[in-house]
Structure formats: structure tokens, C-alpha cells
Chains A and B, each alone.
Chain A
Amino acid sequence: MKGSVIIAATAISALAVAGCGSSGSSGSSASGGGSTSCVATIGMEGPLTGPVAVLGQEQLHFAQLALSMDNQANKTKISLVQGDTQLNPAQATTVTQQFTSNSKIVAVAGPAGSQEVEAVGPLFGRAGIAFISGSATNATLTTGKYPTFFRVVSKDSVQGPQDANYIVKNLHPKALMIVDDQEAYSTGLVAAMTPVFTAAGVKVDHQSVSQKTTDFSSLVAKVTPATTVVVLPWQVASNAQQFGRNLAQQHKKALIFGTDGLFSPSAFTISSSYVSSFGPDITAISADAAIASAAKAKYGSFGTFGPPVFAATHVIDEAIASVCKSGQTPSRSNVLAAIKKTSEPTSILGQPISFDSSGDLVNGKFFLFKINSAGKYQLIPG
């Protein structure tokens, strides 16, 4: 009997608290309509300093731009905490530990590199924080091992075969060299591309160099006259630029084919090279004209690394806004649930954004560019 009274009292208290919460949330719900604020904090992880700081800064700028535009459109007050990973898994782990221990952070845009996702995936998973990368493309990231991971770009199992098929069908090499840079991103792409080459009867010379290497003269000496294509699935564009110079230095005629990590119109400009990209050139998408001009006015020129992070941040912002509109206070769990339900019919990337059950972008694709004699990137249609 005494137990029943306690249970009843507890139930009444719970109902009262729930009622208060509901009442409070109603205010919040009204905030979705614009009367009060929908307040939340999100994190942004990227290589803000270090060898690829140029890309990281571009990602940060586009995250800030998305936040500012979404806050204005949704009448939210979402703030951003920056974390510098330097494209280094160890540094990314440190930043992630700071983010997970900051109870205000409900979701994160980033990190940039696949190797970083491998490092931080378990930490975000344990903390129940959704994190959306705008550039991590390694296919193994979405096998279900990181349940809170999403990406707004396609994966290497799409990029690798797509690029390899283009090379086989359009460049017709009899022999090629493929060089990984000993990082997860690079080795993953090599693994995805090599079967396509061998199936097509192309002789493959697989080499490997550290991402910190800056002298490729010895490696370039191995490029035989029969080797007409050198595939560089790298992330440091200036390394590929140096590789191209070493080719010219030794009068080698092989073309360079770079993957999305090399997409950098300012740092990689070797004429006649090819570069694929997970992001389109948004300056060529008419619907993105306002965003492109705002980004250019505020931050100067940009490439393809920023827009996907804009998309990732936008997905988070919309998820937070929808949580507020449903009368709840944004938390890690309800924002995660809202991100899973994302269904944007169009986006800055020129394609719809929704995620499959493993966090991958549904119907994602890659874009291919050729560098002309003036060092400019030109989109190859198709």
C-alpha cells in the first residue's frame, strides 16, 4: 500500500514536471514562429592551421556563412565553436574530447579527413553527437561502426570506380602509376580504383610515399615512357604540383589524374591534369548565385571544399530549427533524430540531401575537371 502511494506520488510529480516542460516548450515552439529564440551551440572541426589550412579556412568560412544565413532565415540563435584538427587524427581526438565534454554542443560539422573520422567516430558515437563531414569520403566510414556519422558528399567507392572508369575509357593507358600517400583517404581510393584498372588489362605500378615528402624526383624517374597516366589520390595539392614539376623536369609526358583531395585551383595548376571533386563548382549553379557572391564578398575566392560544409552546417541548422518548432529544446538526441530524417529537395550542391540508414548521402556523385593551359579548372560535362 505504502509502495502504491509512493508510485502514485511519483507519477503525479512526473506528470507535473512533464506539464511544466511542455508548457516551457510551448514557448519554445512559439519561438519557431519567431517570438522567442531557439538557442543552440554547434561545433565545427577542420584543419584551420597546418599544411591544408587553406581548405580548412574555406570550410570554416562556409560554415559561418551558413550559420549566419540560417539564423536569419529561421530566427534561431545558433552559435559555432571552432576546433582545429590540422588534418591530424590525434589533434582531432583532442578537439573532439573538448566538444563531447561541452554539454552545450548538440551537433558538429566536420571533421574534414577520413582518417580523422576514424579517430573521432567512437567518441562522438559514445556521446550521441551527430557529426556531418563535408569532405570525408572513405567508403569504410559508413559501414555502421559510427552510428552518429553522416556525410553530404559521396564516398570513395563511388569516386574510385567512377574516376578509374573515366581513365580507362577516355585516356586509354596501357600502363599507369598510382601513388598513395599512406593515409586512409589515399589507400582507400587505391583499393577502389586498382580492380578497375586490372580488369581492363592496364599494367599498374603501385607506389607509396609519405604525405610529408616534398621531393618526388626519384619516384618520377620510375615513370616509364609507356606510363601515360599517374594517379595521385592525395590530399596536399602542393605535393602534386611538385610531382608535376618533377615530371616536367625529367621531360616525362605522363598526365596527372588527381582525386578530390587535390582540387585546389590555387595550388595545383599542372596543365592537362584531371581532378575529380565531391563538390560542384557552385559559381556555375544559378540557384547558388547569392551564396557564391556573399562568400566571395566576405572571404574572397574559394574552391569546392567550402560548399559541402555549408551544406553540412545547413542540415544541422535545419534539424535544430525543426526540433524547436516541434516544441522541444535542442539536445544531442533530438537533433540526431532530426538529422536522420533530413530530406532537402535541393541544396547548395545542386542535388537533394537525404541520408541512408548508414549516414551516406543518397544518390551522391562526383564531378570531374580538367586543368587548361592557363591553369584554370574546366568542368567535364557528363
Chain B
Amino acid sequence: MAFFFQELVNGITTGALYSLVALGFSMVYGVLRLLNFAHGDLYMIGAFVGYFVIQWFGGPSALTIPVPLLLVIMFVLAAGLAGGLGVAIERFAYRPLRDAPRIAPLITAIGISFFLESSALLLFGAQFRVYNTSDFMSFSSGIQIGSVSIDSVQIMVLVLGLALMVGLRQLVSRTRLGKQMRAVAADREAAEMLGINVNFTIVATFFLGSALAGVAGVMGGLLFNQVTATIGFIVGLKAFTAAVVGGIGSLPGAMLGGLLIGLAESFITGYISSTYTNLLVFAFLIVVMLVRPSGLLGQAQLQKV
């Protein structure tokens, strides 16, 4: 039973990460009907920002500021820079193509993804950058229940991930900006005629989605330690899959899809074999798509943003 709970914790932690990135995919698709393939690269940018913040404050084993303050700075800066980059991408790459055939922004998104990856390679080099999280966040500071270990990084990722998901849900369902997002997602032209500032709403959506990817990047760096220019691709692919399985455009769907993929990976690795993880995870997802082509929560139109 302990093994089951250990894999459950591992799966939920990884799933929370996928969910955060998937939320951004879903939000952007909701308002623009655009598959933003550059989204995974914003995760990579966030991870790099976190890494450089650690180095700026003395490195993992010789921090010059308290760890909680370091974490706040890492998350805020990563969210801000990834969010700002997302806004810039929208303004200069996607907005000029807003009324173009849908294939044009799709190809642009792939191009932006390569551009960001290559830029990071040139700027930061090809070698792995390592967070060395255990140097400043000890594994022993977590929770040990029997033989189930939940370390402090996993707890932080779970709590922060959940808080962000709940916060985003509240923002979309209860605030004026959220209403505007839902209106633009439902019918952009009608929303504009009703006086909603569509450009501002889209910019805000891009900022929020990209900021979430940036935060997820720091979480990934803290959890998995390694940062390179190419880490965004796999995470982006899995997050995209999570968004589609959950029902693209649906925020609860993106959260559910991310968690499902994280849990499926974890349990298949644990109970069957790591050899078949990707094969079985994607086979399971194909079955889900065959049974519910619009995704698990894809028909919940009221949830779209």
C-alpha cells in the first residue's frame, strides 16, 4: 500500500506540473483558437530564470538570502518574464495573423518555438544547468508517513500548483477580466461590439498563461534539477496532450488531463514497467479520445475562457 501512495504522490506532483502548462495552452486556444506550440518554451525560459536567480544570490550551497525569499523572487521573476515574453509573442507574431487562415499562426507558433529554443541555446549554451535543489531545500524537511516520502519540494509544488489552479478558476469565473475572457472566447466580434477591449483581453490571457508556464518551469527546475534549451519540447507535448484529453479550451479539463497523464505515467512505471510507460499512456489517451473526441470535459462550454 505504501508503494501505491508513493506512486500517487509522484504522479500528482508531475501531473500538477503538466496541468499548469496545459492551462496556458487551453486559455490561449480558448480565446484565439490557436495551438501555441511555443508554450513549452516559455516553461524552459521560466526554468532558466529560476536557475539564474539562484546563481545571482550566491549559488545553491552559498545563498545570500533566506530560501523563502529566494523562492518568491524565482517565481515572481519567472512569471513576469515568461508572461512578458508571451505578450511580446502575441503582439509581434500572432496579432498580425489574427485574421489570416488558421494554418499561418500555427506555422508561426512552430517557428517561434524553434526561435526560442535556438536563442536559449546560443545565449545559455548547450550544457545542462543544474539547480542542485537539495543543497538549499533538504529532503529531510518533508513528510515521512511510513515508507512514503513527500519532500518539501513536492509539497511546495503541490500546494502552489493547487493554489494557482484554484486562483485562476476564481479569476475566470468571478472577476470582470474573467468575464471578458469568456466573452471573447465565446464570440470575439460580439464581445468587441459590446465594448469589450478584445486586444487587452487577449494580451491578459497570454500574460496569465505564459506566467503559469514560467512558474511551472521553476517548479520543474526545483523538482528535476536539470535545465537545458530543449526541456520545453517534451513538457509542452505532454501539456498539449493533457489539454486535448481534458477538452481543449476547458480549464478544469486541462487540470484533469495533466493530472491523469502524471498519474498514468507514475502507475504504469510502478506497476507494469517503465519500458511501456509512453506506449501505454498514449494508448490510454487514444482510447479516451475515441470514446470522447472532444475530451473528458470538452463539452462544458461554460468553462471556456
Contacts and interface: CB of A to CB of B under 8 A. Distances in A.
Interface of A: 49-51, 53-54, 179, 206-210, 212, 214-215, 217-219, 221-222, 238-239, 241-242, 245, 248-251, 267
Contacts of A238: 128, 130, 225-226
Given A54-B126, A221-B3, 4 more contacts: A179-B274, A241-B130, A242-B225, A251-B144
Given A209-B274, A221-B6, A248 B126 contact: no
Interface in B260-277: 265-267, 269-270, 273-275, 277
B125 interface: yes
A208 B280 CA distance: 14
B74 to A, nearest CB: 18
B54 to A, nearest CB: 16
Nearest to B278: A210
A245 B221 CA distance: 13
B24 to A, nearest CB: 20
Contacts of A179: 274
A249 to B, nearest CB: 5
A53 B121 CA distance: 11
Contacts of A249: 134, 139, 149, 151
B139 A248 contact: yes
A251 B2 CA distance: 14
A153 B56 CA distance: 41
B13 A219 contact: no
B275 A245 contact: no
17 contacts: A49-B121, A51-B228, A53-B125, A53-B126, A209-B274, A212-B234, A215-B224, A217-B10, A218-B10, A218-B265, A218-B267, A221-B6, A238-B226, A242-B224, A249-B139, A250-B149, A251-B139
Interface in B188-232: 223-226, 228, 230-231
B62 to A, nearest CB: 16
B274 A215 contact: no
Contact of B13 (A49, A208, A217): A217
Interface residues of B, number: 38
Nearest to B11: A218
Given A207-B274, A238-B226, A53 B127 contact: yes
A51 B10 contact: no
B120 to A, nearest CB: 12
A248 B133 CA distance: 12
Contacts, number: 83
Contacts of B151: 249
B90 interface: no
Contacts of A217: 10, 13-14, 266
B281 to A, nearest CB: 12
B130 A215 contact: no
B224 A208 contact: no
B290 to A, nearest CB: 25
B230 A51 contact: yes
B266 A245 contact: no
Given A214-B231, A215-B14, A221-B7, A51 B126 contact: yes
Contacts of B230: 50-51
B161 to A, nearest CB: 15
Residue with the highest number of chain B CB atoms closer than 10 Å, among A215, A219, A242, A251? A215
A206 B133 CA distance: 29
Nearest to A86: B126
A245 B60 CA distance: 15
Contacts of A210: 278
B217 to A, nearest CB: 13
A326 B68 CA distance: 71
Interface string B120-155: 010001111010011000010000100101010000
For A54, A218, A222, which residue has the most chain B Cβ atoms within 10 angstroms?
A218
B224 A218 contact: no
Contacts of B139: 248-249, 251
Given A51-B126, A217-B13, A251 B225 contact: no
Interface in B232-260: 234
10 closest Cβ contacts across the A-B interface? A53-B126, A208-B275, A218-B269, A238-B128, A217-B10, A214-B224, A218-B266, A49-B126, A221-B6, A207-B274
Contacts of A242: 224-226
B226 A214 contact: yes
Q: Which of A206, A221, A250, A251 has the most chain B CB within a 10 Å cutoff?
A: A221
Given A217-B10, A218-B7, A221-B6, A54 B127 contact: yes
Contacts of B278: 210
B220 to A, nearest CB: 8
A251 B125 CA distance: 34
A241 B134 CA distance: 12
Contacts of A248: 134, 139
Given A221-B6, A249-B149, A207 B273 contact: yes
A222 B128 contact: no
Interface in B1-53: 3, 6-7, 10-11, 13-14
Contacts of B149: 249-251
Contacts of A54: 126-127
A249 B14 CA distance: 15
A250 B3 CA distance: 11
Given A214-B226, A215-B224, A242-B224, A221 B270 contact: yes
